Amino acid sequence: MKHSILAGMMAAAVFVGWTRAQQPPPQPPTTTQQPSEIGVPIVGEAGNPPRLAVPDFIALSPDAETVAIAKILGQVLWDDLNFEHEFAFIPRDVYASIPKATSLSDVPFDRWRELNADGLVIGTVQKVDAGVKVEVHLYEVRTRRSVFGKEYTGAASANPRRYAHLVSDDLHLSQRALHGVAQTRITFASDRDGERMKNTVQKRDVKEIYIADYDGERQTRVTVNGTLNVFPRWSPDGRSIAYTSYGKGTPQILISNIFQATREEVTRGNDENWLAAWSPDGTKLCIASPREGHGYTNLYVLNRDGSGLRKLTSHPSINTSPTWSPSGTQIAFSSDRTGNPQVYVIGADGVGQAQRITTSESYADKPTWSPAPYNEIAYTAKTGPGNDIKVIDMATREVRQLTFGEGSNESPAFAPNGRHIAFTSTRAGKKQIFTIARTGKDLKQLTRSGNNEHPDWSAK
Amino acid sequence: MVRRIAVILTAASLAAAVACHKKAPPIARPAPPPPTSTAPATPPRPPEPVREPTSVPAEPVRDDAIASASLDDLNRNSPLKPIFFELDRSEVSPAGQKVLDENATVLKRYPAWAITIEGHCDERGSAEYNLALGERRAVAARAYLVAQGISADRLRIVSYGKEFPFDPGHDESAFAKNRRAHFVITAK
């Protein structure tokens, strides 16, 4: 009874949150491609990335809301496009010298040429009956030709950042054949609410599951369980989050369907179950459980409704932290069968010997397998008093290090295009979520309130 | 509910009467729980409703602070002491064995008690692996208690990994306190 009330409250909370933010299922802005203008990639000079300018959008309606949206769109789009480094950018502070266009027909291309812009991303925002219409173009400055053009319409209350994220992903796909991550989200566990665990005399903070946009904006609480909720993982379709919850005393795997505002129990009973990882097709979960006793932990695979449990590893040691290969045929995990934990790979059918991957670490855990085109595994490595994030190339077995002892760094999770990694770091004091490029550049702090940890990056 | 409390109260007063006539307990008696000397003696609360329907213990309940304390009061100043582990290890040390011997004595004295053994780790290992390491510590503590004759049915285990450090510090003395098996009385 109490549970169903809680679930109901959770449902209401999530539903209200999503409705206000105009999240899917009501798919936000709809798109109209302008068919005459597709697919011509803009190029830079002599092999350099094209130099783009992304000024504020043009407000075609004079009201304050439209003007504000136009400004936000330009700024967020600049950040979104810059995140992938496919283009070079003319800094925004230089744009002030260029007269503002009042429509797409009076864009001062000559002036943009003076700044050596190869491309100009500019758009308009207009109030329409249905809400807001946004038209975006990428112009080749030299020829004044539109090489990308799209229209987006959505409710006026839609968060303007969502338009920018959508435009950015469309632009990257059309211009660079790249799957951008501007529309993706990151989930994590947080104790920011300062709520205390019940049923204990110890001072212990509740941790709940949160989500945020990939850039750390719009952080939203997903669970209202009032207990320890940790290690969230996005389902491949981005509509559900599986996590480990201690609500019934022993840790169990739950799934929050964040758009339906429903909750499923994947595991139940007295056995402990941790660290769910979704198969790429979203039908199965791999979990770790010490259910056989003796202090051994092994991996199990089961259907998302909890049926069809089978044991994946059978080793008298700790075998934990599962992650699926992008193809779904293999599972990487950590095992301390030789002493401290190391990363291993085994077939998803459990047949055959586990193959050891990390050989130069004293301690390696939490593998995360990058999507194509990269074939890499990032992991937590003990490097001194704390941990750091490292990446191993599965073909060459070369290891590169992304963090270097700034606080302790752990729990890496790849972005769906393999170019970025989210992780937990104590470098700013408490535990916070950061993102970093796979090259080790572009470190960015996403969270600042309370402790935030165990990030996972959505595929969509 | 009311009836159950009444039963317990009756049992307690009966036990008190019995205790007056008894000379010595049948087992070596550990020093009764050391209520911290500075803490003002809290008046014994009426027994809390038990969580699970347990029959009145066969062993007479003694009229002491432990028998009459609530679960929360018991756990706040627990007669069951934690044991501590070396970095990345889960073996029970000689010092830990001594503590577990005393815990076993308490558990024999209060046979209705059910406990949860929590396994915990310090912050230096990874969050994910630490779940399994904490489990190993809880399992090691339980195995030792079972070897001392405590029924495994009374001993649930759960690992919290490094999620709930006892000492929030980031130095060796904090780490040493956080690598522990912690005992929580869940029923009496």
Give the CATH number, domain containing residue A261: 2.120.10.30
Q: Is residue A34 part of a domain?
A: yes
Number of domains, chain A: 2
Q: Mutating which of A297, A317, A343 best tests the B interface, going by the most B Cβ atoms within 10 A?
A: A297
Please check whether residue A207 touches B, CB under 8 A. yes
Nearest CB to B75 within list A201, A270, A410: A201
More confident residue, B130 or A32: B130
Inside any domain, residue A9: no
Min Cα distance A81 → chain B (Å) is 33
Quick check: A54 contacting B, CB < 8 Å?
Answer: no
The rounded average pLDDT for each run of 10 residues, N- to C-terminus, in chain A (460 residues) is 41 34 47 55 84 96 93 96 96 91 95 95 93 95 95 85 96 96 98 94 96 97 96 98 96 96 95 98 98 97 98 98 97 98 97 95 98 96 96 97 98 98 98 97 98 97
State if pTM tops 0.80.
yes
> Do the Cβ atoms of A304 and A295 come closer than 8 Å?
no
B162: Cβ contacts below 8 Å, ≥ 6 apart: B120, B121, B122, B123, B125, B127, B130, B134, B178
Mean pLDDT across the stretch B12-22?
A: 43
CA atoms of A75 and B6, how far apart (whole Å) = 70
Looking at the structure, do residues A67 and A197 belong to the same domain, yes or no?
no
Of A250, A251, A293, the CB nearest to B139: A293
Asked if A408 and B124 come within 8 Å (Cβ–Cβ), the reply is yes
* ipTM of this predicted structure: 0.90
Statement to judge: residues A102 and A212 lie in one domain: no
CB contact under 8 A, A380 and B126: yes
Q: What is the pLDDT of residue A114?
A: 94
pLDDT at A130: 84
**What pLDDT shows up at residue A156?**
72
| Mutation to test the A interface, candidates B42, B71, B129, B133, most A Cβ within 10 Å | B129
* Partner B contacted by A424 (CB < 8 A): yes
Q: Which of A148, A176, A204 is the last residue of a domain?
A: A176
Query: Is residue A168 domain-shared with residue A197, that is, in the same domain?
Result: no
Looking at the fold, whether A249 and A144 belong to one and the same domain comes out as no
The answer on A192 and A163 residing in a single domain is no
Probe site for chain A from B42, B89, B126 (most A CB atoms < 10 A)? B126
Q: What is the pLDDT of residue B48?
A: 52
Q: A53 and A195 share a domain? A: no
Inside any domain, residue A5:
no
Alpha-carbon distance of A331 to A279, in angstroms, equals 9
Contacts of A249 in chain B (CB under 8 A): 116, 156, 158
pLDDT of residue B65: 75
B1-31+43-188 fold: 60s Ribosomal Protein L30; Chain: A; (3.30.1330)
- Residue A334 at interface with chain B, using a CB cutoff of 8 Å: yes
Same domain, A144 and A277: no
User: B53 pLDDT band (50/70/90 cuts)?
Assistant: very low
Q: Does A350 map to a domain? A: yes
Do the chains contact at B131 and A454, CB–CB below 8 Å? no
Asked if residue A2 belongs to a domain, the reply is no
Contacts of A453 in chain B (CB under 8 A): 127
Residue B29 pLDDT > 90 = no
- Residue of B135, B153, B166, B183 to mutate when probing chain A, most A C-beta within 10 A: B135
Domain holding A42: CATH number? Answer: 3.40.50.10070
Domain ranges, residue A409: 185-457
Q: How far apart are CA A342 and CA A336, in angstroms?
A: 6
- pLDDT for A159: 86
Does B15 score more than 80 pLDDT?
no
Q: Is there a single domain that holds both residue A164 and residue A64?
A: yes
Of A376, A384, A375, which Cα lies nearest the Cα of A403?
A: A384
**CB within 8 A of B74, min separation 6: which ones?**
B66, B185, B188
Asked if A408 has any chain B CB less than 8 Å from its own CB, the reply is: yes
Residues of chain A contacting B136 with CB distance shorter than 8 Å = 295, 318
Q: Is the confidence at residue B5, as pLDDT, over 80?
A: no
Instruction: Select from A201, A293, A424 the Cβ nearest to the Cβ of B72.
Output: A201
- Do the chains contact at B126 and A251, CB–CB below 8 Å? no
Same domain, A167 and A235: no
Residue A89 confidence (pLDDT): 94
Could you identify the residue written with the tokens 């020093």?
B31
Q: Chain B within 8 Å of A102 (Cβ-Cβ)?
A: no
Q: Which of A201, A382, A387 is the closest to B76 by Cβ? A: A201
**Secondary structure (H, E, C), chain A:** CHHHHHHHHHHHHHHHHHHHHCCCCCCCCEEEECHHHCCCCCCCHHHCCCEEECCCCEECCCCHHHHHHHHHHHHHHHHHHHHHCCCEECCHHHHHHCCCCCCCCCCCHHHHHHCCCCEEEEEEEEEECCEEEEEEEEEECCCCEEEEEEEEEECCCCCHHHHHHHHHHHHHHHHHCCCCCCCCEEEEEECCCCCECCCCCCCCECEEEEEEECCCCCCEECCCCCCEEEEEEECCCCCEEEEEEEEECEEEEEEEECCCCEEEECCCCCCCCEEEEECCCCCEEEEEECCCCCCCEEEEEEECCCCCCEECCCCCCEEEEEEECCCCCEEEEEECCCCCCEEEEEECCCCCCCEECCCCCCCEEEEEECCCCCCEEEEEEECCCCEEEEEEECCCCCEEECCCCCCCEEEEEECCCCCEEEEEECCCCCCEEEEEECCCCCCEECCCCCCEEEEEECCC
| End-of-domain residue from the set A139, A154, A176 | A176
Contacts of A312 (CB under 8 A, 6+ apart): A286, A298, A299, A300, A301, A322, A331, A346, A348, A350
Q: What is the pLDDT of residue A11?
A: 38
Confidence at residue A293, expressed as pLDDT on a 0 to 100 scale: 96
CB A297 to CB B124 under 8 A?
A: no
Query: How much of chain B exceeds pLDDT 70, in percent?
Result: 66
What does the pLDDT read at residue A44? 83
Of A176, A209, A243, the position where a domain reaches its end is A176
Nearest-angstrom CA–CA distance, A203 and A205: 7
